[in-house]
Amino acid sequence: MKPYPKEASLSQVIADLSNDGKSNGTTEAKAKAEDEESKATVRLWYLEVSTKTFPYEKGERVEARYNGEWYIGDLKGLPEEDKHGRYSVLCDVDKGKPTPPKTLVRQIRRVTPKEGEGEEIKEWKAVSDRELKVELGLLKLTKSGLSKFMVERKNDGKWIRELIIKDWRDFEVGDYIDCEDTQSKFLPAVIKKVRGGKIQVHYVGYSDKWDEWIDKESDRLAKRGSRCRTTEDYDDDDYGSSYGFGGSQGSVGLRNLGNTCFMNSTLQCMNATPSLTDFFVDGEYRSQINRSAYKSGGRIAEEYGKLVKEMWAQRPHTVTPRGFKAAIGDFAPRFSGYQQQDSQELLACLLEGLHEDLNRIRKKPYDPNPAIGDGKNDEKIAELAWNKYRKREDSVIIDNIYGQIRSQVICPECGNLSVKFDPCGILQVPIPSVETKLQAVTIQYADPSKPNLKLAVSVEKSGDVNDLQAAVAKVANVDAKELISCEVYHNKVYKVFSQDHSINSIMDNDIIYMFEVLSLKSEKPEDSKGIMRVKVNMETGGRDELIFGTPVCIGIPYNDDHEVKAGDVESMIVNALKRNWSNDKKEKPFKVLVRTDWNEFKEISPEKMIKLSRDFEVKAVWDSKEDYSEAKCLKHKSLANLGESEGGEVLTLKACLDSFTKEEILTAGNEYRCPACKKESRGKKKLDLWRLPNILIVQLKRFQYTRQWRDKITTYVDYPLEGLDLATWTKAKDQKRKAVYDLYAVSCHGGGLGGGHYWAYAKNLVDQSWYTLNDSSVKKMRKNDVKTKEAYLLFYARRGFNGSQAAREARSKK
């Protein structure tokens, strides 16, 4: 068989084999490959080699790997029961301790392997239609990426081997599906593990921390592409058709190479930038490449130029930015891998690389004297500072994207005013009024006749759970001291919060419940010396235990010996669960099982005293899942405020610019050294715009990082599509006359800090229509839909500075 280029596909191989090798593998053959495939007389199979395994069961004797050592013990918990996907093992070395610790590990092995375990299994599998269209350079059918192929030819018009089409629920590791997340939204997902009746799913484009175990028969699972808008959303396997297209010339898809959506979003916005497009499309950049450029030696400009030219080719297609990915990774090693990154950081790196590669200054002069003024002659100092800067930095990037920021600091000691002018390529503006957050909470009342209530309250981010309970109590008309707050995850109480638990550590997607517990009142029984907060999960009995429903939390009063009567515990649980079984059942349809140490759960005589310890657990084992019904839950009107800014008012880009230019006192650790009195102090600082660029890039600072916490600001910011007038925030009078800008691209980020997903909205330079550019997917969109709360980077062009004509001229040169 002849060699094929890495851009070819298996469809071409089949076409060649069907035509007895007459096809030459050229571009024409590639375009006809799919048509030939339907007439194929051959079929491809690949050899999959795997190892025989058996699912683990609780109670098995295993070895657990902990800190590099192996410890023998009993398996007590499976990964699907732990939020972080770990096994729980009671090691033999810990069994003699009064309160044996739980050893949570990710790697275990059986002490005595089962018969056949570890044996090699070889199986021939047919290459799927989707895999036939994948470029050979990206194809990976097995874990190693290497495959043995078998060619099957039709015999008398019939296939020799039987092709078994599996049901989509016959899950295997690596299968792609649509999966409903905890927010009732279907997302593309890939199966990471299969164990018994459950699968572990990973949401494509999101952090591993959102992975979860789901029953194979759950309604939350759907066939790939049936519930998500397009199969192109499967970013980790985003091959699609190289010819599938829904846009115009210049608006094309970019293939996701593995968590590179952040890069694709940035490149799409840059590709829509007026004046830069024709500069690269017509090849003008080649004459300005600086081969002695710092770090890259011109490679960034070369690869970016090739990429843009390919994106503006006549034939609509999906482009694979592999060459650019390698170049930017060599220039900035943090982008060399396949971890999710920040689109703004990539943009800053790209602008730096392009500028260095295209800098017209080959030998930069040294100037040790910065231009600093006193506010009396700003025009002269600003011009001097700009000239000094341009003598060292002079490129098409500086010409179009860079401007000047005026920065002044007033010394509180001597009153000296110091002014300097700094170059600026990306205007980073804060999002004001983010000291508070809206937190959704579901409260369950102590009175079982009252329905649950879901509400949203505004709390200070610097506050704690005590503040959250106070806010909830005010809306729900309960006593804050009678509330137990917890996080519910996969039908279990995952965490019971202490009163001083930080609000900032509660993520937006966390499901928070509060349980009203009357035993927490100050009027405790005389013999009670304290209250222990205990979580109660709902389970079904039998060999296949199933955790379901909504768990509860109760407060158990105990005596001096930390003991409580078993009957009292059961009475509290029965009262808490009355709302969950049908009225026609007089007797409770569940058993209360108790575990006081690492022993198994068991029923305890009502008169027996139970010792409360750290390992004390309670669960309600229902006779049948059908006996359980979810409690009625009302929705409070405050839920309408979720996703909106404080007070229901819409936050605007104008407010962000006001915050950027607002006078502030320097924080501790960032003191200013006055050039007049030579003292370090927390001076008053103020920023203003001075020299305005042709291309204005605004970053909405959605990500906040401090030593104590980190957070993403999801507040919607209303930004104008046309007519953004910067005259109000511009100090230079001569710049105010041309200070109006129109939007042409937006880089968006959806999801949380752990990963999320990036995409872009961009206006095509030729047809002036807006397109959604989501990796390989390209769709025309309505202009009104360009405004979104996921906006992260805003790209504006100065009015009158329009690259459409330049783009048309570049197009005519093709």
Return the bridge partners of 665, or none.
684
Q: How far apart are CA 499 and CA 467, in angstroms?
A: 8
Query: Could you tell me how far CA 619 lies from the centroid of its own chain?
Result: 34
Q: How far apart are CA 196 and CA 756, in angstroms?
A: 30
Class of residue 784 by CB neighbours under 10 A (exposed 0-12, middle 13-18, buried 19+): exposed
Q: How far apart are CA 289 and CA 87, in angstroms?
A: 56
Q: Is residue 476 helix, strand or coil?
A: helix
Q: Are 440 and 714 in contact (CB under 8 A)?
A: no
DSSP string, 390-451: HTT--SHHHHHH-EEEEEEEE-TTT--EEEEEEEESSEEE--S--SEEEEEEEEE-SSTTSP
Cα dist. 673→372, 411, 416, 487 in Å?
14, 8, 11, 48
Q: Are 452 and 633 in contact (CB under 8 A)?
A: yes
Q: Note every long-range contact of 591-599, with CB atoms under 8 Å and residues 24 or more positions apart, other chains counting.
A: 591/541, 591/620, 591/621, 592/618, 592/619, 592/620, 592/621, 593/618, 593/619, 593/620, 593/621, 594/566, 594/569, 594/618, 597/99, 597/100, 598/76, 598/90, 598/95, 598/100
What are the backbone dihedrals phi and psi of residue 634, each rounded to the nearest 5 degrees, phi first?
Answer: -90, 150
Q: How far apart are CA 684 and CA 803, in angstroms?
A: 41
Residue 202 is among the residues annotated as catalytic for this protein: no
Q: How far apart are CA 376 and CA 211, in angstroms?
A: 60
- In which residue are the tokens 């927390």 written? 682
Class of residue 255 by CB neighbours under 10 A (exposed 0-12, middle 13-18, buried 19+): buried
- 202, 355, 749, 757: which one is catalytic? 757
Return the bridge partners of 536, or none.
552, 618
CB atoms within 10 A of CB 155: 9
DSSP string, 718-784: E--SS-EE-GGGB--GGGGGG-EEEEEEEEEEES-TT--EEEEEEE-TTT--EEEEETTEEEE--GG
Residue 411 is among the residues annotated as catalytic for this protein: no
- In which residue are the tokens 């060399």 written? 336
- 91, 179, 261, 349: which one is catalytic? 261
Interstrand relation of 695-700 and 590-595 (parallel, antiparallel or unpaired): unpaired
Q: Are 722 and 798 in contact (CB under 8 A)?
A: no
Q: Are 346 and 697 in contact (CB under 8 A)?
A: no
Q: How far apart are CA 399 and CA 379, in angstroms?
A: 20
Contacts of 524 (CB under 8 A, 6+ apart): 531, 557
Cα dist. 612→75, 522, 594, 595, 596 in Å?
24, 21, 11, 10, 7
Q: Is residue 44 helix, strand or coil?
A: strand
Please give the positions annotated as active site: 261, 757
